[in-house]
Amino acid sequence: MSMLEMLCRDTLLYNYKTYILKFLPAQKRIYSERNRCGVAAVTVILSSSPFVTKTMVGPARPQFVLFGSSIVQLGFSNGGWGAILSDIYARKADILLRGYYGWNSRRALQVLDQVFPKDAPIQPSLVIVYFGGNDSMGPHPSGLGPHVPLPEYVENMRRIATHLKSLSCATRIIFLSTPPVDEARINQGTSEIFSELVRTNELCQKYSDACINLCHDLGVKAVDLFTAIQKRDDWKNACFTSSYI
């Protein structure tokens, strides 16, 4: 760090400390800001309140669990959405990753009790669930593959939501619907093993709509990824990794 950057950092700390001590009550004397030189975030902690300390260091820290397939597993890669959540809630919550590349809702049900045991001493404060992208792939002629028929998918997601609701009255749930795909790029990159798998936006939208409708019926919050992603003009370039995820 250069002398200029150190000076900016120290000046920033002093100014914020003076402001916070003068104007803010003790229980609110926590402030985070990025300094003017664009260096790493500077956090000023001025409160010795037992409540603040306990919340930051645990074991009372809330747990946010991300449960799903590849979009969840890769959520901490390349500055993904899981990494962003961890950054935002770095001092406030523990972000737990339970992502499984290639899984569908059928497979998720098989481990639901293990991932979310009802007798766990601490239940998650928030669970974000994503399954549907693999379920929505067309059936493979061999009978194998990740495809799950739409009615079964809806029932599986219903059972997942019901189980999560039973964990605690304080547990909040968010479902992510099936996002769109770049059909042209997927067809170009398909391997011989998966050459007969069908993945289209028509199928993705059906599973996305089914998820959104189910959440509406159950009173569960949902994010319509299929619609949200396509609001960007450059979504085909900006919203996918090299694996088209």
Where in the sequence numbering do the catalytic residues fall?
70
For the chain, the DSSP string reads --HHHHHHHHHHHHHHHHHHHHHS-GGG-EEEEE-TT--SEEEEE----HHHHHHHHSSS--EEEEEESHHHHGGGSTT-HHHHHHHHTTTT-EEEEEE-TT--HHHHHHHHHHHS-TT-SS--SEEEEE--TTTTSPPPTTS-SS---HHHHHHHHHHHHHHHHTT-TT-EEEEEPPPP--HHHHHHH--STTTT----HHHHHHHHHHHHHHHHHHT-EEE-HHHHHTTSTTHHHHS--TT--
Report the distance separating Cα 55 and Cα 43, nearest Å: 16
Both tokens assigned to 130: 């994503």
Alpha-carbon distance 112 to 108, whole Å?
Answer: 6
- Please name the residues in contact with 48: beta carbons below 8 A apart, sequence gap of 6 or more: 26
